[in-house]
Amino acid sequence: MRYLTAGESHGPQLTAIIEGLPAGMELLAEDVNTDLLRRQKGHGRGRRMQIEKDLVAIKSGVRHGHTLGSPVTLVVENDDWKHWTKIMGIEQLDSEEAAEEIKRKITRPRPGHADLNGGIKYGHRDMRNVLERSSARETTVRVAAGAAAKKLLKLLGVEIGSHVIEIGGIRAENLQFETIKELQERSEASSVRCLDEEAGAKMIEAIDQAKKNGDSIGGVVEVIAEGMPIGIGSYVHYDRKLDAKVAAAIVSINAFKGVEIGIGFEAARKFGSEVHDEIAWNEEKGFYRKTNRLGGFEGGMTNGMPVVVRGVMKPIPTLYKPLESVDIDTKETFSASIERSDACAVPAAAVVAEAAVAWELANAILEQFNGDRMDHLIRQVEEHKSYAKEF
C-alpha cells in the first residue's frame, strides 16, 4: 500500500491518491472528516484554521460506500484559495500582473524552515515556491490517508489513539487510562489533548504567553495502538523492520525532530534487567509480556503488546517576532519574512502522528498477508492470531 499527496498550502486543493486498499472495505467521507476536524482543533492554532472547513471528497476507488481495490482519490479543497487565485494561479501572468508579483516576492528565508535550502535545491528566487509545498498544510491529506488506514486497522481489531504529554517544558504526569476509547475521549475533551488536567491548564498558559511574546513552543506527543498481531514486520533486513518504518514516519512529519519507542532514551540510563520485558503465557492470552518498556516491538517486529511511540515537535519556525536572516537578492541582514502561523500546533500534530503510525501498521499487515479482499484479510489475520496463541 502506498500513497502520494499533491497540492500547495494556498492552492485550490490538496489531494491524496491511495493504492493498495483491499476491495470491500467500508470507507465513508465521515470516517475521514472526523479526523480532519480533530486536526484543526487545539489551543494555539492560527487564523487559517478559522478560514478552512476541511471536508474530504472521495473521487475514485469507492462505490456505494465500499472500496473497489482500485486507487482511492481523496480531495480536500482550500477555502482560502479564493484570496490567492492570482498569487498562486496556474496560468502565466501578463506584464502588469508580473510587475505586481515581483513586489510580493519573498526573498528573506525563515530560520528553521525549508525556505533557503529548498530555494537553493530547486533554483527558486521566490521563497513562496518552497514554502507553499513545505507547509504543514500538506498534513491535511496525510491525516485523510491515515484515516483510511485506521479504518482498515479497526476492522482487524486494532485500535489507535494519541495524546500530548509535553508542551513548552510542561510535562503531564497523570497519564493512566484503561482503554484506547478512554484515551481518545479524555484527550478530545482537552483543548491541548492532554490527559492531565492540571498540566493541561499550565500548557494553555504557556501557549498564550508564547503568542503574546510573538514566539512559538513545541512539545511531545504519544501514539498508542492496541491489538497488533505478533510478528508483523521482520528481523531479516534493516528496511523491513517495522519499528524503523514507524520511526521514519514520525520524523517525516513537519517540525518533528525526534522519536522514541517504549521507554526510549530512558533505556540508556537503566540496566538490562530493568529494560527488557519478561515473557509470560496463559491459556487466555497465549504469549504476552509482563511489562511493555520496549513499546510493543522486539527485533523489528510487533510482540503483541501495545505499540507505544512518542515524537518530539520543535517550535514552529514562523515567528511574529522574526529571527535574523539574510535577503537572498541583496545579501543584507533583515528580519525573516512573516507568514500566518500558529503559536503551537502540538495538539494537532498528535493527530498527524496518529495517522502516520496507523499508515505504517496497516501497510505492514498488508505486506504480510494477501490484501486483495477485506474479508480474506480479516480471516487471515484471525488465523494468524490463533496460530500465535497456540504456538
Extract the annotated binding site for FMN: 133-135, 254-255, 299, 314-318, 340
Q: Which set of grid coordinates corresponds to residue 51?
A: 478560514
Residue ranges at the known binding site for NADP(+): 39, 45
Question: 333-336 long-range CB contacts below 8 Å, 24 or more apart?
Answer: 334/108, 335/108, 336/108, 336/109, 336/110, 336/111
Antiparallel, parallel or unpaired: β 286-289 and 297-298: unpaired
Residue ranges at the known binding site: 39, 45, 133-135, 254-255, 299, 314-318, 340
- Taking a C-beta distance cutoff of 8 angstroms, is the pair 117, 128 a contact? no
CB contact set of 146 (below 8 Å; sequence gap of 6+): 35, 352, 354, 355, 356, 358, 359
Q: Which set of grid coordinates corresponds to residue 316?
A: 514552529
Q: Across the beta sheet with 2-6, what order do the strands follow?
A: 2-6, 13-19, 72-77, 56-60
- Taking a C-beta distance cutoff of 8 angstroms, is the pair 279, 289 a contact? yes
- Taking a C-beta distance cutoff of 8 angstroms, is the pair 258, 251 a contact? yes
DSSP state of 126: S
Q: How far apart are CA 200 and CA 299, in angstroms?
A: 36
Q: How far apart are CA 179 and CA 160, in angstroms?
A: 10
- Taking a C-beta distance cutoff of 8 angstroms, is the pair 69, 21 a contact? yes
Q: With left for phi above 0 and alpha for psi between -120 and 50, is residue 269 left, alpha or beta? A: alpha
Q: Across the beta sheet with 307-313, what order do the strands follow?
A: 170-171, 159-167, 219-226, 307-313, 256-261
